[in-house]
Structures are given as C-alpha cells and as structure tokens.
A and B are shown apart, each in its own frame.
Chain A
Amino acid sequence: MIPLFLGVALVTFAVLSLVGDPFAQMAINPRIKPEDIARLRHAWGFDLPWYLRFFKWFWSMITGNWGVSIFAGGKPVTELVARAIAYTLRFSLASLILAFVVGVPIGIYSALHQYTFFDYFFTFFAFFGMSMPTFWFGFILMMIFGLKLGWLPLGGVMTPGIETAPLFARILDQAKYMVLPVIVLSLFSMGSWMRYARSSMLEVIRQDYVRTARAKGLPERTVIFKHALRNALIPIITLLGLSLPGIISGATITETVFSIPGMGRLTVDAMLSNDYPVAMVCLLLESSLLIVGNLIADLLYAVVDPRIRYS
C-alpha cells in the first residue's frame, strides 16, 4: 500500500509539472517585472528540476507541513481542503446513504417480484436516473423548484447572513440548500444500486442452496432473509467499499451547477490554475481513500464470506 501511495504521488506530481509553472501567465502582464517573476519562481522552487521539487514538497508534506496555496491569498492548503471536504461530505454522505438505503431494498424487492409492474417501473426508474445527465437534470430541478415554485434555493450552501441565526434555523436553512443537489446526486447512484442489488439477488435465488433451504421447510422469509440476502449482499458490500473515495472527491459537475464550494471544484480549479500544492493534496487524498476503500472492501468481503477468510 505504501509503495502504491508513493508511486501515485510521484506520477501525479510529474504529470502536474508537465503543465509548466503557474507564473508563466504573469509574463504577459506588462506591470509585473521579469525580476519579480524570477524571484517568485525561485521562492516556489520552479527553478529546480521537477524531481528535486518533488522531494522538497514530499519531505515537507510527510513532516506535516502541507504548504500554502500559490493563489487563493496564500491560504494554508489544510484550511482550503478542510473547508471543501466539510461541504462535499455533507452532500456526498447524504446522497450515498439515501441512494443505498432506498436503492438496495428496491432492487431486492424487484428481484423477488421479477417481471411484475413494480419491477418494470423501477427498472425504468433506475435507467432514467442513471442516464440523466446531472447538469441537465440539475438545471431542470432548479427551474421547477427554484424558479417556478420558489420552494427551494437555486444554489449555494446557505442563505447569506444566516450565520447569526439560532442553531435550529441555521440547520433548517442549510438543509433546504441540500435538497436538490442530493436528489441529483443520489438519483444517479440509486439507479446503479438498484440494478446491482436486483441482479445479485436474482442470481442468488436461483442457487441450489436456496432450494435446499426451501426443501428443509423453512418459512419463505427465512429463505430470503437468511439464506439468499446474505449471499446477495456480498458483491454489494464490496461496491460500497469501492464507492468510498467518491465521498471525498466530490462531484465536480453537480457542485458547479449548484455552486457548492466542495472538493470537486477545488480540485479542478487548482489543477486548471496549476496551483500544485492544493492539487497534489486533493489528488493524493482521493487516491489514498481509493486505496483504503479497496482495503476496506477486501476486509468486509472476508467478514461476510467465510470462503475468503485469510488464515
């Protein structure tokens, strides 16, 4: 895992360095003197080869100094990232939980009632959710609920000036801002959870051991909930572990549509302006979460499936 992390860091840094240095843009500004640009480049280490710069950056990073943003008024990276994560987490966790808690039971129910109206309806619903482009669907929702009906705010994360209001009013206000983005985000993943759960359950209820369970004279609910469900959840739990990095990395498009200052936007903005201290931390956080998510998926797998237990 650690070599993997090192490799990711090195490659990411190398690729970001290929873009050039962030001060090149300043050269076309006649009010900035070339000497100043040279001083800035020296201060940020851009007069060194990229690999030396990488070691300098990496050393300070592992010693706890995550650096400051080149732009954004030189704010510490930790502060920028922490704020963005706080916003992203709120939306991504809410939509992951909503999508999982609604999608998986519906998928399982669909599998048990295959080819009924219910099944067809939610198959349609799942494909609708998965194929709806988020930017388009987001705008449609904003138009209906924000503009036409005026029930919900158009975007952002809270009403300006609400900071002084009592706690309960603040929570209510921010919850209102969450409704539309969470719907857009969860609709997409809800569809895939439904399909995963449905196909996994369909596969399991055709297994011989389910027939054995019935032949034992177990009540149908024991057959389904004890014998079938646990087996059907094995691949789903793995997917849950793999969807973990998505919680932090944020959804750039949805965040842009709803003007949420989350990780998705922070990452993309930092990369576009070549603000490498910010971009590196964002990308490394996401990739380490991917690695950890994989590890968690493997561990969970061993918990639910005795065949995979490591001895």
Chain B
Amino acid sequence: MEREETLLDVRNLKTYFFTDDGVVKAVDGMSFTIRKGEVLGLVGESGCGKSVASLSIMQLVEPPGKIVEGEIIFKGEDLLKKTPEQMRKIRGSEIAMIFQEPMTSLNPVYTIGNQIMEAILIHQDLSEEEAKKRTIELLRLVGIPEPERRFNQYPHELSGGMRQRVMIAMAMSCNPDLLISDEATTALDVTIQAQILELMKDLQRKTGMAILFITHDLALVAEMAHSVAVAYTGKIVEYGDVYQIFKKPRHPYTYGLLSSVPSLKTEKTKTPLPAIEGMVPNPYKMPSGCHFNPRCPFATERCRKEMPELAEIEPGHLVRCFHPVAVEKEAVS
C-alpha cells in the first residue's frame, strides 16, 4: 500500500505504575507510528505493555499508573498536552476502543440501544430519533440480525460474539479515524473470532479507518495487519511490515515467537515444538542491558551491559538488537 500521512505517532512513551512494592515500567520508551488507514499489529506476551500502551493513548490509565514521559501525536497534535475535556471529546469520536471481555464490557443495566445511542448523542449533534435510527443502522452494519428488536435488549440477552459486535457498533458510531482493538477477539470461540475479524477487516476497508490491533496471537496479526510492532517488556523490539516480520524476522525474540507457532510441517517431522527458554522477567527486577538477554541464544557480554537502540536494518524494518538473526523464515500461516 502507498505511503500516506501519519495519523498517530507515539514517541518514547513511558507509562509507569507506582506501586507499594516499587515502580513497574509497563511501557518504557515505546515508539510506533500508524498511518491513515493502516492496520498496525502490536504483538507480545502478557505483561509486555501492549494494553497499557493502548490505554495510554486513550489516557485511561488508572492510578497508580501514570504516563511519565513521551509524546502521542495524533493528527499533528500531542494528546498528552490536551486538557481532560479536549481529550474526552476525542475519545469515542476520533479514537474508539474495543476491549477483550465482551461479557463485562457492556453495562448490564442498560439496553444495548441506550449504550450505543449515548455515544452518538454525546459527540454528534443529533436528535434522539436520529440517533436511534443511526444506532439501528450501526447494528445492521455490524451484522446483528433484527436490529430493531436487539435495540431494546440487555447485554445478558446476547451471546459473547453478539456483544462484541455491539462494542464494535459503539466504536464505529462516530466514524473514528483510529480504532484500538485490545485483544478484542481473544475471549471468543475460534469461529466467532473469525467472523469478528472479518467484520473488522470489512469495516476498515469501507471506512478507511486505521486500526491498532493488539493481540498475542501471531496468526491474527498475519491475517489483519499491514505492519507489525513486536513488544517486549515495555519496548518495541522489532518493527516492520507484515512480510518483513513474518518472512525475515531479525530480532531473536520475534524469531523465537514465530518458531514456536505449530504448523503442519513440524508435526510431520516429529521434532518437539521449539519454545523460548525462560520466563518474562519480573517487572520489579529487569535484567541489565538488553531485557531479552537471559532468554536469548545469541546473547553476548555486550547484551548484558548495554540496551540496544531500535535501529533501521533495512528500509522500514527496525530491530532492537546487536546481533540480528540473519536466517530467512518460512511462511508460518
């Protein structure tokens, strides 16, 4: 796809949690950009800071979490310099977000119609009736059958997949420029997951919105994203387009992640599935140097002392590593 102008530019974002036991650097100098209409996959294990990064963009980080440094440039303006009121007007209208748990993300005591309409009424100058019409339109758009009847139903009357569709309808209500999907399909059955992904892809094509697609599932990223950012311990370790990441992963962590995805071939050769050694480091006690060094097969003395910078290794492909992997990987999906 052609290069378009930048929509979101996250620069050196640091979000720390100040707990009684110490400071957890959940997001520690994360940078990435999303162009207009682009789908960026943000992948990583649990605790790598991907969710906190997305909440930071929305400025919905709850205490004791706090954004301590960085810039979040959205359409040329730094969101971190906005007043809470300006930020509130952006949330839900220009940047919308859907969450992991469709079962608990909707308020149980209000009808879904009420909850979608609410978002429309707060951001758009529409009458109740027009908002209701728009809500029913949205419900139809996200593939909910009998939208007029569903409008008056409560969340508990809907299945998980349907609820996630409602969440998407709510997010789409004001035609956002950026949709943040934080593990939006993780809690769903595989078949429902495929439907929701298809819906998101379809909506993205129709509206041209950008999506920040957060997941731990590499197969979903390959399916959805144009570009991929791999996060580890609050930092981006590798960044590139889908082809670069999946065909030519250069960071040992990305390489390890891709190798640990089972494929039909590995089963045939009967070799055990490779796994990344060790565990995600304790957030209170990060290793010195490169955070990945205790688990890295290529780690050297330098890796234990210095944190490598995120450097461009080929056009558009950035890696945070002193010893990038040079082997080409066979396609995974």
Contact = CB atoms under 8 A, between A and B. Distances in A.
Given A211-B99, A212-B99, A217 B123 contact: yes
| Most-contacted residue by chain B among A212, A305, A307 (CB, 10 A) | A212
A209 B107 contact: yes
Nearest to A209: B107
Interface string B140-176: 0000000000000010100000000001001000000
B109 A305 contact: yes
Given A215-B58, A216-B118, A217-B122, A209 B88 contact: no
B156 A217 contact: no
A230 interface: yes
Contacts of A30: none
Contacts of A211: 60, 99, 105
Interface size classification for chain B: 20 to 34
A16 to B, nearest CB: 45
A212 B91 CA distance: 10
Contacts of A214: 60, 91
Contacts of A306: 108-109, 154, 156
Contact of B109 (A208, A215, A219, A231): A231
A218 B154 CA distance: 20
B109 A217 contact: no
Contact of A217 (B89, B101, B108): B89
Q: Main secondary structure on chain A at its contact with chain B?
A: helix
B104 interface: yes
Contacts of B167: 212
A307 B97 contact: no
A25 interface: no
Contact of A215 (B97, B107, B108): B97
Contacts of A90: none
B90 A212 contact: no
A216 B105 contact: no
| Most-contacted residue by chain A among B90, B101, B108 (CB, 10 A) | B108
A217 B88 contact: yes
A304 B122 CA distance: 24
Contact of B154 (A219, A226, A304, A307): A307
A182 B118 CA distance: 43
A212 B108 contact: no
B154 A215 contact: no
A305 B108 contact: yes
Nearest to B114: A226
B109 A216 contact: no
Nearest to A114: B63
A216 B122 contact: yes
A219 B88 contact: yes
A117 B241 CA distance: 51
Interface in A198-226: 207-209, 211-219, 222, 226
B212 interface: no
A116 to B, nearest CB: 12
B330 to A, nearest CB: 39
Contact of B91 (A217, A231, A304, A307): A217
A211 to B, nearest CB: 6
B42 interface: no
A227 interface: yes
Contacts of B93: 217
Nearest to B97: A215
Interface in A235-268: none
A219 B118 CA distance: 11
Contacts of B104: 207-209
B107 A212 contact: yes
Nearest to B103: A208
A311 to B, nearest CB: 11
Nearest to B60: A214
Given A208-B101, A211-B99, A227-B107, A216 B156 contact: no
A307 to B, nearest CB: 5
B156 A208 contact: no
Contacts of A222: 118, 122
Contacts of A209: 104-108
Contacts of B97: 215
Interface of A: 207-209, 211-219, 222, 226-227, 230-231, 234, 304-307
Given A208-B104, A211-B60, 17 more contacts: A209-B108, A212-B99, A215-B58, A215-B96, A215-B97, A216-B91, A217-B89, A217-B93, A217-B123, A218-B88, A219-B122, A226-B110, A227-B110, A234-B109, A305-B109, A307-B108, A307-B154
15 contacts: A208-B101, A209-B105, A209-B108, A215-B99, A216-B118, A217-B92, A217-B123, A218-B118, A218-B119, A222-B118, A230-B109, A234-B109, A305-B108, A306-B108, A307-B154
